[in-house]
Amino acid sequence: MKKAIVVGSGAGGATVAKELQGTFDVTILEAGKEFYPFKLKIPLLERIKKTGLLFDEREIQLFFPYMKIRKTEEGMILVNGIGLGGTTALCTGNALRFDKDLKSLGIDLDAEFEEIYQEIPITTDHQNRWSRVTVRLFEIFQEMNLNPQPTPKMGNFNRCANCGRCVLGCSYGAKWDSRRFLDIALKGGANLITKCNVKKVVIKDGRATGVLAKKGLTHRFYPADIVLLAAGGLATPVILQNSGIACEQNLFVDPVLCVAMEYKNSQQYKEIPMPFIVQKEHFILSPYFDYLSYFFNLAWKYPAKDIIGIMIKLADSSKGSISYKKINKILTDHDNKRLNEGIEICKEILNRFGGGKNNIFLGTINAGHPGGMLPLTNKESDTLHHDRLPENLYIADATLLPNSLGNPPILTIIAIAKQISKVCKEKHYAKGKYI
Can you give the pLDDT at residue 53? 85
In-domain check, residue 351: yes
In-domain check, residue 218: no
pLDDT band at 359 (very low <50, low <70, confident <90, very high): confident
Can you give the pLDDT at residue 70? 92
Which range among 13-22, 26-35, 226-235, 354-363 shows the weakest confidence by mean pLDDT?
354-363
- The answer to whether the CB of 65 falls within 8 A of the CB of 195 is no
| Res 97 pLDDT > 80 | yes
Chain length of the chain: 435
In-domain check, residue 71: yes
Please write the tens of the pLDDT for every residue from 403-425: 999 999 999 999 999 999 999 99
Please write the tens of the pLDDT for every residue from 236-276: 999 999 999 999 999 999 999 999 999 999 999 999 999 99
In-domain check, residue 420: no
Nearest of 400, 395, 239 to residue 323 by alpha carbon: 239
Can you give the pLDDT at residue 301? 94
Please write the tens of the pLDDT for every residue from 163-217: 999 999 999 999 999 999 999 999 999 999 999 999 999 999 999 999 999 999 9
CA–CA distance, 6 with 393 (Å, rounded to integer): 10
Please write the tens of the pLDDT for every residue from 166-179: 999 999 999 999 99
In-domain check, residue 404: no
- Average confidence score pLDDT of the chain: 95
Can you give the pLDDT at residue 354? 87
CATH number assigned to the domain comprising residue 64: 3.30.410
In-domain check, residue 384: no
The domain of 65 spans 42-80+125-154+251-367
| Res 431 pLDDT > 70 | no
Q: What percent of the chain has pLDDT over 70?
A: 99
How many domains does the chain divide into?
Answer: 1
In-domain check, residue 289: yes
pTM as predicted:
0.96
- The answer to whether the CB of 363 falls within 8 A of the CB of 355 is no
Can you give the pLDDT at residue 177? 97
pLDDT band at 285 (very low <50, low <70, confident <90, very high): very high
Nearest of 205, 199, 207 to residue 240 by alpha carbon: 199
In-domain check, residue 345: yes
Can you give the pLDDT at residue 430? 62
- The answer to whether the CB of 10 falls within 8 A of the CB of 415 is no
